Amino acid sequence: MLTIREGTEESAPYKTFLQEKIRTYNNEQSPHHAKKRRAAVYPVHVMVFEEEQIVGGIYGEIYWGWLEIEFLYLPDSLRAQGLGSQLLHRIETLARQSGVNRVLVTTFSFQAYDFYQKYGYETVGVIADYPPGFSHYTLVKHFIPSSGSA
C-alpha cells in the first residue's frame, strides 16, 4: 500500500535517498553529468512510501523567498499515475505556507522539462548541449496571490 508523507524538519535520509536515485538516473542517462550541492536554509520534502519503504518523493530548500526544488524522483513503475503532480502540488503548498512566492527548478531534457511546463513553470534559461547531446533548463514559477490576501 502506498502512502504519502510530508515534513519540514531536517531529513537527511530522505534527501540522501532522492539524491542517490536522481544521481543514479542522471549518470545512466548522461555520463557527463556533474553533481550539484547547495546548503539548505529551510528544507521541505514530501515523500512516497510503500509500506515503510521510501520509494520516491520531492525535496527542496527555501531561502530568499524562493523554493528551490532540488530533487523529484519516482521509479518508472509509479510514473504517469498522478503521484508526481501530487508531490509538486504538496511541496508548493508547504512553500506558500512559509511565505514563498517563487519557485526555481533546473532539469535536463531527459528528465522532467515537459512536466514542469505543464504546471506553469516558465523557461528562463537554456543551455544547449549541456551535458553533451542534451539541454539543461532553468524554470521559474511565480505564485499568483490568493484573492483573500490583504
In order along its 150 residues, the chain shows pLDDT tens digits of 988 888 877 778 888 888 888 878 877 776 544 433 334 468 999 999 999 999 999 999 988 789 999 999 999 998 999 999 999 999 999 999 998 999 999 999 999 999 999 999 999 999 999 999 999 999 999 998 766 544
- Break the chain into its structural domains and give their ranges: 2-105
C-alpha to C-alpha distances, 6 to 51, 96, 103, 114, 123, nearest whole angstrom: 15, 15, 18, 25, 28
Amino acid sitting at position 80: A
Nearest partner of 4 among 57, 42, 81, 71, judged by Cα = 57
Domain 2-105 has CATH 3.10.150.10: no
